[in-house]
Amino acid sequence: AVDLASKRTASGTDFRQLNPKGYVPLLELDDGQRLSEGPVIAQYLCERAGRRDLLPACGDPARYRVLEWQAYISSELHKGFSPLFNPALAEDAKGLLRTALAGRFAWVSEQLQQRDHLCGEGFTLADAYLFAVSRWSRLVGPDLGDLAALQRYLARIGARPAVRAALASEGLSA
């Protein structure tokens, strides 16, 4: 656990000593190496666990669709939220950022109109990432309530037993 405001871990360690970037997530491997960047950590964990349902094998075109979504979520959604958490940023600037994010989420919602998951029928690590990032809108906007396909999708993902268990373990509501 990391207090992101103070950059201290639960044990009191300066988190920047563990990750000079100063942000989460961070995964320490058995050999002491550390991975930062959520999409890379997710890929590592899928490959290590042999979860080809979550991330298909190298060379499979389906893999590159998952990675394409991972890149979009990372660069266009995740990064778009970061400034909204900055209390020093002017509200008019935040309004512009919310508008841009709303447009990107509208596009995502359009993609979900004819399918249950980002990459078709099966749940992948891209779905997990989109679910997590989308939840930030509850905290800082934009309001995504009018995006019907996205809302149906988020409800389906949120109803998955593993997702419910993960949220509960973090003390979060569905």
Q: Over the stretch 119-157, which tens digit does the pLDDT of each residue have?
A: 988 999 999 999 999 999 999 999 999 999 999 999 999
pLDDT at residue 174 is higher than 80: no
Mean pLDDT of 13-28: 93
Q: What is the predicted pLDDT for the residue at 91? A: 97
pLDDT at residue 78 is higher than 90: yes
Count other Cβ atoms within 10 Å, centred on residue 112.
20
Residue 37 corresponds to which amino acid? E
Residue 55 corresponds to which amino acid? L
Q: What is the predicted pLDDT for the residue at 84? A: 97
Q: Report the alpha-carbon distance of residue 164 to residue 172 in Å, rounded.
A: 9
pTM exceeding 0.75? yes
